[in-house]
A and B are shown apart, each in its own frame.
Chain A
């Protein structure tokens, strides 16, 4: 099983739709989680951290489910500008902190 797994998509949704992505991780001792956004041919940019209690930033909501070992990202009222690849990141802070990127989920928002 991969350390971090994401559905590659693409997810094609119309503008205004709500879309959700999940990301599963294999190491139950993982402690920190993030979502990044990467536009085509650009660098990944931090979108938001994922807190145990869940957190929201505008139209974006991130949640953590430790029991089932996944994190999720919900995007409400999708905009054309949300089209990008969304990368989940899982951090294991054991003897040597290890930060692992998922392969990304591609989102395409259409008119």
Chain B
């Protein structure tokens, strides 16, 4: 399936690095989301964008910085991360907020 794509699929970065995660949806959706899923833990919603505007930030540390240039693209800029930030980062989109979400394959991030 190529509805929602994410790059890179795997990322290893040091605590002083700066990197970005990219998400693209080809579904014509208007809402996009970032989630974090740590090992054996439930999904944690990080950010919500609706028609390119950020509508939700669930107390995410400032070392995570989202960007949504248009309804099809979503970025997560990372800087000075901590080892506990190692997790699977999932992007999702939905036609409108509150509608069923479709997920990308995720970026597995390891912070060393």
Judging by beta carbons under 8 Å apart, are A97 and B98 in contact?
Answer: yes
Contact-size category for A: 20 to 34
CB of A1 within 8 Å of the partner chain? no
Query: By CB atoms of chain B within 10 A, which of A45, A49, A101 has the most?
Result: A101
CA distance A41 to B103 in the complex (A): 13
CA distance A45 to B103 in the complex (A): 7
Question: In the assembled complex, which residues on chain A have CB atoms less than 8 Å from the CB atom of B45?
Answer: 101
Number of A-B contacts (CB under 8 A): 43
Closest A residue, CB atoms, query B56? A96
30 contacts between A and B (CB under 8 A): A32-B98, A32-B100, A34-B100, A41-B88, A41-B108, A42-B106, A43-B104, A43-B105, A43-B106, A44-B43, A44-B103, A45-B103, A46-B100, A46-B101, A46-B102, A87-B43, A92-B98, A93-B98, A96-B55, A97-B97, A97-B98, A99-B94, A99-B97, A99-B98, A101-B42, A101-B43, A101-B45, A102-B42, A103-B42, A104-B42
